[in-house]
Amino acid sequence: MSTDRTINVRFFNMWGADIQSVILKFSTSKSGVESDTYKIDSLKNGESAGPFVRHYQTGIGSEEFDYWYVEFVSTGTPSGKFWCKNNFSCVLDSDVDNSREAHFWIGGTKKEAYTGFPEDGGGWEDGYNGTPSENPGSNYTCYVSLDGPA
């Protein structure tokens, strides 16, 4: 049987420039119909916003994927409108410590979006060290290349 859960997500701008017209969507279905959607007017480079509540399920019968989406406009370098490719999936499983914040951020060096999840026991999943950066190397849980500029 599936279990409904929530986790707070903090969004970080590590783009290397200020951004505006930010849209965040968190969904457990490919259609995105059942999603948590948030808008941020502007966010300076190096700053964060949130926390934003994200719904997800774990256990037998739960959705197999958790989808993450970001769209924003950068007037710095790199400039233009950027967005997540469709169906960027990174699974929140039962090992995630949902009493702590998950991290979702953008990095301008490689034009990518990243997630970092807290795990039970006080650490972080998949080698993430808990600190978002513009060019994280392998310091994240999941990542996706962004489309743009448009």
Mean pLDDT of the chain: 88
> 60-84, pLDDT tens digit by residue?
877 668 899 999 999 888 899 999 9
* Per-residue pLDDT at 122: 80
Q: What is the pTM of this model?
A: 0.91
What CATH number is given for 3-147 in this structure?
Answer: 2.60.40.3820
* Per-residue pLDDT at 54: 92
**Domain limits, the chain:** 3-147
Which of 103 and 57 is assigned the larger pLDDT? 103
Question: Mind giving me the DSSP string for the chain?
Answer: --EEEEEEEEEEEESSS-EEEEEEEEESSTT-SSEEEEEEEEE-TT-EEEEEEEEEEESTTS-S--EEEEEEEESSSS-EEEEEPTTEE----TTB-TTS-EEEEEETTTTEEEEE-BBTTS-BGGG--S---SS-TT-SSEEEEEE---
135 has a pLDDT exceeding 60: yes
> 86-129, pLDDT tens digit by residue?
778 888 888 888 899 999 999 988 999 999 998 887 888 887 88
